[in-house]
Amino acid sequence: MKKVRVFIERASDGSFSAYMPDDNGLDYGVIGTGYSASEAIADIKLAYQGMKKHYEDKGKYFEEVDMIFSYDVISFLTYYSDKFTFAGLEKITGVSAAQLSQYVQGYRNPSKKTAEKIQRGLHAFAEDLSQVHFV
């Protein structure tokens, strides 16, 4: 099954969108929206199922995909805010809790360098967690 990126972004009005970029080589596209990233993800999955049904009804081939969700920094922080505190993320990423909070509140936007720093910290943390085994 083909893996396709789906971008999750927070709009200026606080809503979220989930969409497939045009470079995925599919002859269809779907989008989702919602008041949270979770709602946007659920909506794009619903739209995907609707598109699949539409193709089936027309007797057309439908290429199924595995959606890989990618976030902008602000959307990631908002989506996972009930799982990570900013203080905890500061320890993981090296970016101050105050700075992370300012991103979510819309006072600042992270630079590319800061976004990469956050991503590296999260990936290193995930790698550490993947080594955990309980006895």
Note the pLDDT tens digit of each residue in 49-87: 999 999 999 999 999 999 999 888 888 888 888 889 999
> What domain range is 58 assigned to?
2-71
Q: Are residues 11 and 49 in the same domain?
A: yes
- Same domain as 87, residue 125: yes
Q: What pLDDT, on a 0 to 100 scale, did the predictor assign at position 74?
A: 85
Q: Please choose, from the candidates 92, 91, 90, the residue with its C-alpha nearest in 3D space to the C-alpha of residue 100.
A: 90
In a domain, 22, yes or no: yes
**Which residue is associated with the tokens 């936007």?**
109
Does 123 map to a domain?
A: yes
- CATH code of 81's domain: 1.10.260
Q: Is the pLDDT of residue 88 over 90?
A: yes
> Which of 71, 90, 108 is the endpoint of a domain?
71
Quick check: is 135 in a domain?
no
User: Contact at 8 Å (CB) between 40 and 32?
Assistant: yes
The number of distinct structural domains making up the chain is 2
Q: Which of 26, 41, 71 is the last residue of a domain?
A: 71
- Same domain, residue pair 40 and 90: no
As to burial, measured by CB atoms within 10 angstroms (0-12 exposed, 13-18 middle, 19+ buried), residue 64 is exposed
Provide mean pLDDT across the span 24-50.
Answer: 94
Residues 40, 58 within the same domain:
yes
Q: Choose one of 44, 71, 98: the last residue of a domain.
A: 71
Tokens, residue 102: 């300012």
Determine how β-strand 16-19 pairs with β-strand 2-10: antiparallel
- Alpha-carbon gap, residue 103 to 107, rounded angstroms: 6
Q: In this structure, what CATH number is given to the domain that contains residue 22?
A: 3.30.2390
Same domain, 83 and 63: no
pTM of the full predicted structure? 0.74
Kindly state whether residues 67 and 11 are assigned to the same domain. yes
| Euclidean distance between CA atoms 49 and 121, whole angstroms | 35
The pLDDT, as a whole number, for residue 105 is 86
